[in-house]
Structure 1
Amino acid sequence: MRKFVFFCFIICSWITGLHAQRVFIAHRGVNMHSTIAGENSLEAISLAKRAGFQAIETDVRLSADGCLVVMHDSTLNRTCLNVDGTTLSAQIPVSTKTLMELKQDFILKADNPEVRSRIPTLREFLTECKRNGLYTFIEPKLIDETGRHYKDIIILANEVLGKGNYVITSNNCANEIIRSLGINDVRLMGVLYQTTFEKIQNQGDCIMAISASRFDENEYDHYVALAKANSLMRESHADKFMHFNKINRNDINYISTDLLAPDLNGQGILLVGKYEIKDFICPTITMAGSILLKKEQTVVLNEPLPCVTFGGIYLEFELKGHAEIKLGNQIFNVKTGNIGKHQVLINNASPAFEVKSLSDELEIKRLTLKIVQY
């Protein structure tokens, strides 16, 4: 029943393209750059579920004895420690270690030693995704012209998740090999900046990943409109406001992220209600209820923000002028006429929030802030 409900949700998102129904993908799980949990760890899956993500992305490589393991990089050094917690002293390729060695000798990095865990196999990772009801994007990080390992991944995904509950994603090389093997009942995702629009379009049942960072605004808007006109679902990655703003202006079905909080859909606990213009300390509030700031003047809350162990901070605003905004651990600029929103994950902190005028006069017409503990 759960699979059927989720399938209907995905189809509805595809047809309507409404922002309220867009799907957020936890990129390599919720790990926040290997701080709150290990990258691609089982813990990062459960955190993604708690935060309200509907999907997750992971990466697959081969161990020395041919086992499918979950790891993004070709080496262990960025994401792993020795099992005793010490730093790896030499470059260690994943492909040079057997599954037993990977399991016994290394742990995934995380700030809290208590949540540092072992490198999962693909089966372990997919089993946890199924338990948490997460639509799964699987990226093979191995070149296999025969397609044998791609078939192994698909067979395993069908067994654990079931057909229709996952996506295979690549720069189009793996996608082309998969289709050349006559496998046409698996959804794919192609990365546009690594291939051509036509090649992704010709794959059939293929999501188009359109980069919000590599394409400028005109190119990005063009490719999104072109994909939509050709009935292709669209995906983009964002961690910063400048990229998330592009996504919010367009019709994107899937949003992949390492640091953004997913749209609020009933998850978590709203702390201290929500903050609006009346709750901020500022030099001038107009009769119409807007905030007016001169250059370098700031707006802050009239009370300290609550400490959040794991949650999200959500901002919506409408302003005229040029502002610098601090939100959580991010600082970004907003220019004249923006009606915008931003939302970031928080880990064990009292989140920062401030608006500073960068123009001679800044008018803030609307300002809403919500803080959620997941």
Structure 2
Amino acid sequence: MRKFARCLGIAALSLAALASQSAIAAGRTDFKVCWTIYAGWMPWGQAKTQGIVSKWAKKYGINVDVVQLNDYVESINQYTAGKFDGCAMTNMDALTIPASGGVDSTALIVSDYSNGNDGVLMKGKGKQIADLKGQQINLVQFSVSHYLLARALDSAHMSERDLKVVNTSDADISGAFAAPAVHNAVTWNPMLADLKAQPNVTEVFDSSKIPGEIMDMMVVNTKTLQENPALGKALTGAWFEMVALMHGDSPDTTTALTAMAKASGTDLANFKGQLSTTALFYTPKAALDFVTSPDMPKIMTRVAKFSFDHGLLGQDAKSADAIGMAFGNGVVIGSKNNVKLRFDPTYVAMAAAGKL
């Protein structure tokens, strides 16, 4: 799945975010959100193409530009710096980039979780996680791939001390895995599907073994959302109209899915395969049930611990509780005085109740 790298230091991101506050004002009518290529986020591009986003934006008297960017990390960095009002990102990256950079952010929509879209691959004789002992493994360091590896090692009573992680960008992972000297890798779709289809390659662990832990979300600036609730309503309404169309059986559904497949560089069959390992919430109620589950704080506690252990919560973080995270029903984990990531079910609840 999605990558993470500290292209900018936390201090630099914080300064940029502070400098951008003048652009985040109440009463605005024009907004921008960004997304990058990934099965679970393709609906944003199609919702724009079909005019669904503009329809919902017009309903609430605003304009919303949905912008595709080519670099996932850069998209989050630009959001953190205030250049976008929202951005599609994972739960871990939301914590370790904008939240740890001091930008109060809200998970407006938790749209899905990886249910096999991320995997650990071994080439040759390796057939189980235990076979990784003493070996090198290529992955995007400090990413959800890194998190998946840590969870895989946990399952085999191993740790990262038992192997060596080789930092490899998502753009280079396929080429690296093709090299004779590289035997192991962690990556996400569509690269994962291509690599594991190669001869003599075994997928020894995937994200379906840790359901719900790698989430995909539309994250928006909390201050912007509070001052401009129309943005939350428009984005939420557009999203669930789009995914409802995807879940249908009409010719329009096939047309939409085919367009998304083409936009992501594959064919319809392959794209449907990627969706099959994406636990996409096709209804507001399904998304609401997930985000209000008592498991959410537990999952994010585990993510925070991994992030702290790998130095991803900032230089000043003294523990995994350094950054507060708020959930529905007033639940807060971590520092109550430094809440920077919020899983707010308000707008999804409105959609579920038919009140958008």
**TM-score in same-fold range (> 0.5):** no
Q: Would you tell me which structure has more helix in proportion to its own residues? A: 2
- TM-score per shorter chain, which class? under 0.3
Q: Would you tell me which structure has more strand in proportion to its own residues? A: 1
Question: What's the TM-score once normalised by structure 1's chain length?
Answer: 0.24
Question: What's the TM-score once normalised by structure 2's chain length?
Answer: 0.25
